[in-house]
Amino acid sequence: SFRVCGEDRIGIVFYGDGASSTGAWHEGLNFAAVQRCPMILIVENNQWAFSTPTSKNTRVSSFTEKGPGYGIDAEAVDGTDVLAVFDAVRRAALQVRSGGGTHMIELNYFRRKGHAQHDPQDYVDPAVIRAWEKKDPLDLYRSKLLHNEWASEDELVAIEEETFEECRVAAEAAIAEPYPEGTEAVTGVYTDVPTPHPWTRSSSPDPTLA
């Protein structure tokens, strides 16, 4: 839609390793490639698709192998290294902006929490979770900033406090807002097709009309 609207913008889509095994993903990828969508696909390879390990999710050894089959360039990067991720995304963005079409980046790391709050992650070896604690991307980046004297402890604490406060205010504002109307969910999805209302069933269908 950015291209249709003549906007000089690119899209960045994040999805899980598990999501890349769904049919819709493959159709979407082909469509994006054929349309040369100005888009970066970022697959978060955190080694688990909910409770399914990567070994039972795919036969490829790297999720980057899925890109070339659709004509999409792909590269893998250490997802715990903030600067490496920044560099890969910056290069991909330059390529996409110069008309190179859709690009894929695989971030390799580990999901240290459950799939969602309801998931206690009891199918993962606790020793593995503990081992990955040492590779927390934010902790590693913080250490790098201090080690290279790119920032002082005081500056980092000030940034953390400011960010925490910004998030707290934003969260409170969001919680205080009224729920949107259901019909708003599809507003702006289509440009020239009137949105059918209601877009979901509000009552059970009449079986005599089936």
- The residue nearest ligand TPP at its CB is 16
CA-CA distances (angstroms) from residue 127 to 117, 119, 122, 157, 158? Answer: 20, 18, 12, 30, 34
What count of other Cβ atoms lies within 10 Å of the Cβ of residue 28? 16
Give CA–CA dist 17/105, Å, rounded: 12
* Beta carbon of residue 26, minimum distance to ligand TPP (angstroms, whole number): 12
* Beta carbon of residue 123, minimum distance to ligand TPP (angstroms, whole number): 11
Q: Does 50 bind ligand TPP (CB under 6 A)?
A: yes
Say if CB 75 and CB 93 are below 8 A apart.
no
Q: Does 70 bind ligand TPP (CB under 6 A)?
A: no
Q: How many helices (H) and strands (E) does the chain have?
A: 5, 6
Task: Identify which of residues 39 and 124 has a Cβ nearer to ligand TPP in the complex.
Answer: 124
Which residues have C-beta within 8 Å of that of residue 129, sequence separation ≥ 6? 112, 121
Q: Say which residue the tokens 């005081």 belong to.
A: 154
Give Rg (Cα) of the chain: 21
* Beta carbon of residue 41, minimum distance to ligand TPP (angstroms, whole number): 13
Among 29, 33, 41, 49, contact with ligand TPP (rule: CB under 6 A) = 49
Among 39, 41, 105, 111, contact with ligand TPP (rule: CB under 6 A) = 111
Q: Does 16 bind ligand TPP (CB under 6 A)?
A: yes
Q: Does 26 bind ligand TPP (CB under 6 A)?
A: no
Task: Identify which of residues 52 and 95 has a Cβ nearer to ligand TPP in the complex.
Answer: 52
Q: Does 14 bind ligand TPP (CB under 6 A)?
A: no
Choices 15-23, 61-69, 126-134, 157-165; region in contact with ligand TPP by CB under 6 A: 15-23
Give CA–CA dist 38/161, Å, rounded: 36
